[in-house]
A and B are shown apart, each in its own frame.
Chain A
């Protein structure tokens, strides 16, 4: 071997190449699996959209045994429960994040942050159980409605499930706001609260949007807890009091009916069709969540 020959392939070089290609294969296969799952979903679900006329699957009645596959009440049910959950969770989550980051003393922050993140690990069936036995009766008695298993009950449980995500991500966003902004605000004679609400929170806005979107993504896909507490009546939630009536979500429909459906039947395909709709919705939400992140990255610079 010539000394100083730069083209020599040493042994380390070869093992590096092996490791690198292995990592590449693993990385691409992850993407591959997601694509495969989506293809499987399409193969099972797409026939539904061709076999059943538009008027039927965009109808307002979901009675698969009578050949009525109106998905609208399910889609609206999911949206109603999820949006209500976010309306509850956003102010709570933001306030908690502000408290943890801006108000709580250091030692409390060290305890609170991991504690809140642990909440995300509570199995949803446990929360569903809690919702059925504690929240639902409470809703029934305090609001004086016929049943406590309502969209509102589901929204409360979902809000609770989305909270850890929202708090954790929003807290990170607040944490990333440079001290120089806070100093500038304080040096102008603003009070601590004025600095928080007029400088820090607006500066963290994109991160807070991401937090909400991630919470939303988690909420809309949630199945078990929702199925246990929303009452599962596939009715159109159009009236004002729908929030305090039972609804049925897309996820709960799939979970409840998949077990007893004949494989390959129209009903079977309809459930996969709902799966496709859900997938697209979740995908759009995640895309919306990713946008501010990409924008920030492109902008870069002084922050």
Chain B
């Protein structure tokens, strides 16, 4: 089943056109990786999927992004509801300067959950889901910033899944992490895709090849090729894709 259907998406920062004519479908309960050189528009595209680009002034969108058939850029769409369904994990781990517990409980509280017992359950469940519970269960009141970057990033994932989204967008989630922490996140993604649709932007082609079922290759704001990861990395149909993944371009 398809989670997102994107049709002919154009995106502008002021007069600069960052994305042109992007069309693709993103399947549910699988991992879709977006690769391409810096500045190719892959992060911009990702942020179009939960309308985080709305926070940057002077940006403009054309085309359609359908989430289960509904255009998320339609006028009557409630952006906060959209973002509760489409969560996001950022490039640098960005937990709030608050306790581990408060970080995970932030989303549910914003949604109106106030009962302590209920929050306790959500916090434990989310931290278990992010593979962090055993490490932090005795430190729930400790400042989140006192943990390692890898733990902080998994905390951000726990915080994201605490609001029970349908999609998790990951914008280079491992670029600030060491190889062991990266591996932990990648293993976590494999567990999460059973329940979530995951879209990951990555600089590392190996990572895309390791974790994803589908891969999209962006170049200068255009989606050059979108296909199964196996096809992209073994037998791409576009010469530009082949040049990029073999290191001759980009």
Contacts and interface: CB of A to CB of B under 8 A. Distances in A.
Interface in A157-203: 178, 180-191, 194, 198-199, 202-203
Given A187-B83, A194-B110, A181 B96 contact: yes
B50 A187 contact: yes
A301 to B, nearest CB: 8
Interface residues of A, number: 21
A302 interface: yes
Contacts of A194: 110
A153 B17 CA distance: 59
Contact of B159 (A178, A180, A188): A188
B55 A189 contact: no
B145 interface: yes
Contacts of B84: 188-189
Nearest to A105: B57
A184 B111 CA distance: 15
A230 B61 CA distance: 60
Contact of B88 (A182, A187, A203, A303): A187
Contacts of A180: 90, 92, 94
Contacts of A198: 106, 109-110
A156 B156 CA distance: 45
Contacts of A190: 80, 106-107, 110
Given A189-B83, A302-B145, A184 B110 contact: no
A160 to B, nearest CB: 33
At the interface, is chain B mostly helix, strand, loop or mixed? helix
A178 to B, nearest CB: 8
B110 A186 contact: no
A187 B87 contact: yes
B91 to A, nearest CB: 9
A187 B88 CA distance: 6
Contacts of B96: 181, 184-185, 199, 202-203
Contacts of B141: none
Contacts of B83: 186-189
B107 A189 contact: yes
A249 to B, nearest CB: 38
A194 B96 CA distance: 13
Interface string A30-74: 000000000000000000000000000000000000000000000
B97 interface: yes
B124 to A, nearest CB: 18
B52 A186 contact: yes
B52 A183 contact: yes
Given A183-B52, A183-B55, A302-B145, A188 B94 contact: no
The 6 closest A-B pairs by CB, nearest first: A189-B84, A180-B94, A187-B88, A189-B83, A190-B110, A188-B107
Given A184-B159, A202-B98, 6 more contacts: A180-B90, A181-B96, A187-B52, A187-B160, A188-B110, A190-B107
